[in-house]
Amino acid sequence: MRSDWARKDNRFARPFCHMITIADLFLLSLATWRVSSLLVNEAGPNDYLARMRYWVGVRCDENSGASYGKNVISDMLLCVWCVSIWVGLLFYIFYVIWRVGARVVASPFAISAIAIVVDRLTSKE
């Protein structure tokens, strides 16, 4: 039997149950993909993301042009799927702690992801 305080304020009935709306799930998913893609594939302004990957241990084979990692973290930064697990976890934790803040941070990345998809769908190449 639930106590009186749980009946009066339903948010205390299940303190670890954080339901996410479909819209927020879509927003966070797009933002997770965009941030993961940035970390793995793009150099960024002034090559700061490429330099970050080099600092972590990602190297490029001069003969084949293929990238390889020197440690576990650098191996992870070679794979969008691998990075997206951790980026998604961080976005979700942020969402559980502060929903509005997570939406504000995720929105520009999600908008960028949609713009990239639209560009790829409409480009002639």
For residue 105, name the pLDDT band (cuts at 50, 70, 90). very high
Q: What is the rounded radius of gyration, in angstroms, for the C-alpha atoms of the chain? A: 19
Q: Within a 10 A sphere around the Cβ of 31, how many other Cβ atoms?
A: 24
For residue 110, name the pLDDT band (cuts at 50, 70, 90). very high
For residue 93, name the pLDDT band (cuts at 50, 70, 90). very high
Lowest mean pLDDT among 30-34, 55-59, 106-110: 55-59
Q: What digits encode the pLDDT tens for the residues 40-69?
A: 988 888 989 888 888 888 887 777 777 887
- Please, what is the Cα angle at 24 between 16 and 49, to 5 degrees? 100
